Amino acid sequence: MTEILYDDGLHKFVLLGFGESTREEGIPSNQYLVIHGSDGAIFDPGGSGLFPVLSARIANCLDLTRIRAIFLSHQDPDVSAGLNIWMEVTGARVHLSRLWTRFMPHMDLLHSERLLPVPDSGSTVELAPGFSLVALPAHFLHSPGQINVYDPISKILFTGDIGAAEYSNGKIYIDDFEEHRPHIEPFHRRYMAGNRALRNWIREVEKHEVAIIAPQHGPLYRGKAREDLLRWLFDLKCGMDLHG
């Protein structure tokens, strides 16, 4: 499925895939495309098994050669395993934490010179003249080099594994956070490094006007569900809080 989350005629934010099964076994994941004018960026494109269906969906929206940027929220294979083919086909530059740029060439990348490190403080990445995406630090959630991507026009924040659920109930958005919470709580308690990291991230998020939180797995958060997620995470004990 493809779902347009925002469209003002010039700017689009598109959900390309939503928890679908493919020939790849593993956790179902979401992929996103941002288009501004005739240029685009994709987030966490996943493994090579996803390339045929995702590239076809992108082609319905934008020429693949107009993909200017690829963002990787962290280093996991469900994020980056198909990176070689995406770099080859699109010619895009790849933005990821500075911690991972020296490891990614071990994936036998053909164009490792197009890996661009995001500093620990975050960065802005120009996608098209007059428009930039914002890479926000989300350190230790769960990766020590985790980044989020904020789109200031749609006000959608791509959060990688923050807010992620290992299931999809067929709904794009969360209706009832408390009903949804059991699907995210075990993962967040075990994988997120600690409450201090969560609070640091929430303070970073609060610097921006966020309408939708869009994770890499599971339904998206808006309205009251977005507020409930942030409130729950602010007080969550996890990681070293529990295992120290």
In the predicted structure, residue 112 carries a pLDDT above the cut 80: no
Q: What is the pLDDT of residue 8?
A: 97
pLDDT in tens, 220-237: 999 999 999 999 999 999
For residue range 49-81, what is the model confidence (pLDDT) as tens digits?
788 888 899 999 999 999 999 999 987 767 667
Instruction: Output the pLDDT for position 84.
Output: 80
Q: What's the pLDDT band for 24 if we cut at 50, 70, 90?
A: very low
Higher pLDDT, 79 or 188: 188
The whole-model pTM stands at 0.93
Q: Domains in the chain, ordered, with CATH?
A: 3-243 (3.60.15.10)
Indicate the pLDDT class of residue 127, thresholds 50, 70 and 90. very high
14-18, 129-133, 160-164: the lowest-pLDDT one? 14-18
DSSP string for residues in the chain:
--EEEEE-SSEEEEEEEES---SS-S---EEEEEEETTEEEEE----GGGHHHHHHHHHTTS-GGGEEEEE-SSS-HHHHTTHHHHHHHH--EEEEETTTTTTGGGG--S-GGGEEEEPTT-EEEEEETTEEEEEEE-TTSSSTT-EEEEETTTTEEEEETTT--S---S-SB-S-HHHHGGGTHHHHHHHS--HHHHHHHHHHHTTS--SEEEESSS-BEEHHHHHHHHHHHHH---THHHH-
